[in-house]
Amino acid sequence: MTRLLILGGSDAGTSAALRAREVESSAEVTVALADRLPNYSICGLPFYLSGETPDWHWLAHRTAEDITREGIHLLLDTTAQAIDPANHLVTVADREGQVRALEYDRLVIATGAVPVRPHLPGLDLPGVFLLRSMEDSFAVHACLETRAPRSAVIVGGGYIGMEMADAFIHRGLAVTVVEHGGTVLKTVDESLGRLVSAELGRHGVEVATGVAVERIAQAGTQLHVMGSEGFSATADLVLVAVSVQPQTEVAQAADIATGERQAIRVTRAMETNVPDIFATGDCVETWHRLLQAPTYLPLGTTAHKQGRIAGENAVGGHREFAGTLGTQVVKVFDTAVARTGLRDAEAAMAGFDPLTVESRSWDHKVYYPGAHELHIRVTGDRKTGRLLGAQMVGHYQAEVAKRIDIFATALFHGMRVDDLSDLDLSYTPPVSSPWDPVQISAQAWVAHRQRSLSP
């Protein structure tokens, strides 16, 4: 019987616990988590804050009761302070500050990530928020409910900034997004980022790009946000969402090796450099399937997969993480934005000879009502024709996610761009065309490549 201790009870930690019990039903599995709410979907926080998901309880992937029913012992409000690998002990403290040591045969570290706190004067002022945990969302929610703010500035034009712009507009606030890059959503190329900016504009969001926020100050009952290029805005609420960083201090103090962005270095079996200690989720480096190298790509999808592998291997399994492609999608008002694989510059840095071709096509036959245009950028290797990545923007009901997943599946299996035309994809006029937009974009890429290769 394995005594398995898991630190962290969100996506990765809970997946590890459930899988361990599935594989070894006699395993004694304990999950110690620093907060009181195990296995909540923090991906759903923007929808709770918008009011579209009115009750935060609905965000539970599983309740604490569901988890304990699986034979998993939960220690809520229990923070790991130190790991002693030599003696297989972890020192934890509960909410009252009571300290004790927990023994383990195998340990899984799943302590996730925390928001980056930029060095901004005014970050700790009342009315300035970061968003990561359920507790963070309760603070924003309390502000929305009790102070009835009428305006918000969002610092950061990443996917959380986009979702929160949508959420605040949904609640009737005036919203300004400030982004230091040239376009919002820098996870996609500029031409697509501009489409997202246009969508924000259509819904009344002010977008300031090329602006570095420098300070936040109290201005009467409001907050004053100042930045480069003479940027200045006042608002009742400021949300700072610039990036996340892995939470690995306790691991590092135990000489567990870290790599990219100080995320824990793991093998593809999710083992750390220390015997009997595994790590998983947003606190670890992620193996990239195309780059064949570790990267830091914190996503819920990956955390679930890696957690399952860590849990299985911690009780004697031999599974390996197949690698991420960075596949992701976000809904911004009526638009969905998705990507998978590499973009041009990333592919070039990895030694490929990338060619990216953008094309537009209708999501379904235009004679059937409600057709929407899709913008698709396909990246492939000019020399070999291998598919390297894809990006897509379109109406959120135009199957953007399904279509990016076709590219993701093709990438996973190392297909060539030309091979996409051979796929037997489904068709009926209200949802697609005999050639799906994925195939039309692949054909545009192939034609472009042929032209670029012909003398």
Give the residue with the Cβ less far from ligand FAD, 186 or 382.
186
* Beta bridge partners of residue 361, listed in sequence order: 374
* Cβ 97 to ligand FAD shortest distance, Å: 14
SS (H, E, C) 283-326: HECEEECCCCEEECCCCHHHHHHHHHHHHHHHCCCCCCCCCECC
How many angstroms separate the first and last alpha carbons of the chain? 68
* Cβ 222 to ligand FAD shortest distance, Å: 25
* Cβ 202 to ligand FAD shortest distance, Å: 22
* Cβ 9 to ligand FAD shortest distance, Å: 4
Cα distances from 325 to residues 70, 166, 297, 412, in angstroms, run: 32, 27, 9, 8
Give the residue with the Cβ less far from ligand FAD, 101 or 366.
101
- 223 CB-near residues (< 8 Å, 6+ apart): 122, 125, 127, 128, 153, 216, 217, 234, 235, 236, 237, 238
Q: Can you read off the two tokens belonging to residue 167? A: 């959420």
d(CA 128, CA 122): 8
* Cβ 78 to ligand FAD shortest distance, Å: 6
Bridge pairing between strands 335-341 and 206-209:
unpaired
Closest residue to ligand FAD using C-beta atoms = 112
* Cβ 148 to ligand FAD shortest distance, Å: 22
* Cβ 30 to ligand FAD shortest distance, Å: 11
* Cβ 239 to ligand FAD shortest distance, Å: 10
The one-letter amino acid code at 272 reads T
d(CA 186, CA 193): 7
Give the residue with the Cβ less far from ligand FAD, 3 or 304.
304
Q: Contact at 8 Å (CB) between 387 and 423?
A: no
d(CA 21, CA 66): 13
Give the residue with the Cβ less far from ligand FAD, 85 or 300.
300
Q: Any idea of the CA torsion for 41, 47, 49, 53, to the nearest 10 degrees?
A: -90
* Cβ 119 to ligand FAD shortest distance, Å: 21
Give the residue with the Cβ less far from ligand FAD, 284 or 371.
284
Give the residue with the Cβ less far from ligand FAD, 252 or 273.
252
CB atoms within 10 A of CB 221: 9
Give the residue with the Cβ less far from ligand FAD, 127 or 161.
161
d(CA 213, CA 121): 10
Helix-, strand-, coil-residue percentages of the chain, each rounded to 5: 30, 30, 40
Give the residue with the Cβ less far from ligand FAD, 302 or 356.
302
d(CA 201, CA 198): 5
Binding site for ligand FAD (CB under 6 A): 7-13, 32-35, 42-43, 45-46, 79-80, 110-113, 131-132, 160, 247, 250, 281-282, 298-301, 303
Give the residue with the Cβ less far from ligand FAD, 308 or 377.
308
